[in-house]
Amino acid sequence: AQTVTQSQPEMSVQEAETVTLSCTYDTSESDYYLFWYKQPPSRQMILVIRQEAYKQQNATENRFSVNFQKAAKSFSLKISDSQLGDAAMYFCAYRSWRGAQKLVFGQGTRLTINP
């Protein structure tokens, strides 16, 4: 079974600075998807960024980028120019390419932005 681990329960960063959230996963599959979801206090789960394992290029979405290291099974999220609206719980998630269509989530990292 796949597992996802986020080793940082809480992180904080000064507004306008850069922060990196860590995520590692365990799988025997070669094809899969990885995601970062954001959950602000409103509770809504919002997709931040997506990475297909077969793509070597790291995904980027505006201020958000990932460092995908397939051999190391690592998938970190970098947030540049942090904004107050980035404050939220961030969840790393894994989904198989085929078979069981479910997301396996990490424990989450609570990100605080200091003004």
**Is the Cα dihedral 6, 8, 13, 19 positive or negative?**
negative
How many helices (H) does the chain have, and how many strands (E)? Answer: 0, 12
Does 103 contact another protein by CB under 8 A? Answer: yes
Neighbouring-strand partners of residue 74: 24, 69
> Which range binds another protein by CB under 8 A, 19-27, 56-64, 76-84, 95-103?
95-103
Q: For residue 66, give every residue at least 6 positions away whose Cβ sits within 8 Å of its Cβ, in sequence order, or none.
A: 34, 36, 49, 51, 58, 59, 60, 75, 76, 77, 78
Nearest residue (CB) to another protein, 16 versus 46: 46
Chain residues 45-84 in contact with another protein, contact rule CB under 8 A: 45, 47, 50
Nearest residue (CB) to another protein, 24 versus 39: 39
N-to-C CA span, the chain: 41
Q: Which of 60, 97, 112, 114 binds another protein (CB under 8 A)?
A: 97
- Residues in the interface with another protein (CB under 8 A) total 24
Binding site for another protein (CB under 8 A): 33, 35, 39, 42-45, 47, 50, 89, 91, 95-105, 107-108
